[in-house]
Amino acid sequence: MTKPTDHYSFILLCLQSPEDKALQAQLESWLSAGATHRELYAQVRLLWEQAPHAAFFEESDAPAATARFLQLLDQAKAAVPAVTLNTVRRRRWWPAAAAVLLIAVAAGWWQYSRTRIQWIAKTTTNRPDSVLLADGSKIYLNKQASIRYPAAFKGRERQVELTAGEAFFDIVTNPVHPFTVVSGPAQIHVLGTSFNVKAANTTIQVYVLTGSVAVAHQQHSLRLRAGQGASCNTRTGEIKVDSSAGNNQLAWRTRELQFTDTSLQAVCESLSNAYGVTIVLDPGISKERKLNANFSNKTLPEILQTLTALYDYHFEQLNDTIYVHLPVKK
């Protein structure tokens, strides 16, 4: 059986996209071109349906998945004796040859899947979302966040990647299989804990709610316990304790904000992080003015209304930017 790779790729594409009417129309035209095409299609379809192929095509990179399937077909073909057959004998030979091909493909896939990790990518846009990992751990993603995680953990270490934005991790304890969050060049090592990670520009911020973690970057490392935070400079590798870190860093998820003698500048930073906005203070406003207040499950307009009553400032919102103005003098 000759194996024109372009024909095989075309057939696999058609099998993967049954909903594509234009592609299926091309397939019908190709099949009507001759019995050889129909026989080739039937052979590939049989292997595709019976072999454990599904995992090949679960990834977004379909061309790479197709290439792997074709490579296994190449390997399987070598297991079939090269014998010149007439038309009648070829029809009798095909079921046995198909069985040999099927076994070879299945064996190749089994060996391949033992060590291969299937990565899944998740990106949020204007809404937070969450991910449940294979071990029961949960990841809560803030807006505009991206993460990569394995469909199943293999080996000694559990590892995920925060490629952008902010996420809260609630990790199942498993001392035998430690958990690592990779964010750029930095790594956060945990056994079982809950913590927040924010990757922004050249800074990675970590805040621990429960348990403990170790933040590492090259030769630098810092251990954090519950209630502690740190920032890591991804350019210099410097890791330092963030004394201003607190539960307000989780407000984007909990909607709980607590301010005790907090400067107006810090209040604006907490609101910006919690509600995904940029707050611009008028140059004439003192950034050190203090606020004592607690907000629970309040919307941003409700909080701004309270601040207006306390400070007598005027808040003007344009899209995702809020401008804070001094009161107009009468």
Structural domain includes residue 50: no
pLDDT tens for 265-289 read 889 989 998 898 999 988 888 878 8
Tokens of 74: 């190449």
One domain for residues 205 and 156:
yes
One domain for residues 158 and 136:
yes
One domain for residues 138 and 233:
yes
One domain for residues 292 and 200:
no
- Give the residue numbers spanning the domain of 29: 7-45
- Residue pair 238/231 in contact by the 8 Å Cβ criterion: no
Instruction: In whole angstroms, give the CA distance from residue 269 to residue 280.
Output: 10
Instruction: In whole angstroms, give the CA distance from residue 316 to residue 91.
Output: 78
The number of domains in the chain is 3
pLDDT tens for 82-115 read 444 444 444 444 455 555 555 555 555 445 455 5
**CATH code of the domain covering residue 281:** 3.55.50.30
What are the distances in angstroms from CA 32 to CA 10, 41, 97, 108? 15, 11, 25, 33
> Cβ atoms within 10 A of the Cβ of 7, count?
16
What pLDDT sits at residue 4? 44
What pLDDT sits at residue 104? 52
Tokens of 255: 């909607």
**CATH code of the domain covering residue 176:** 2.60.120.1440
Q: Alpha helix (H) ranges present in the chain?
A: 5-16, 21-31, 35-50, 62-77, 87-115, 251-254, 264-275, 300-311
Structural domain includes residue 258: yes
Tokens of 323: 């401008």
What pLDDT sits at residue 192? 73
Structural domain includes residue 259: yes
What pLDDT sits at residue 330? 58
Q: Strand pairing partners for 149?
A: 120
What pLDDT sits at residue 116? 66
Angle between helix 87-115 and helix 62-77 axes, rounded to 10 deg: 120
What pLDDT sits at residue 229? 93
Structural domain includes residue 78: no
Mean pLDDT by 10 residues, the chain (330 residues): 57 75 87 86 70 41 53 52 44 50 52 66 91 93 93 89 94 90 91 88 92 88 92 89 89 92 89 90 84 91 89 86 81
Q: Which residues 6+ apart lie within 8 Å of 17 measured at CB?
A: 23, 24
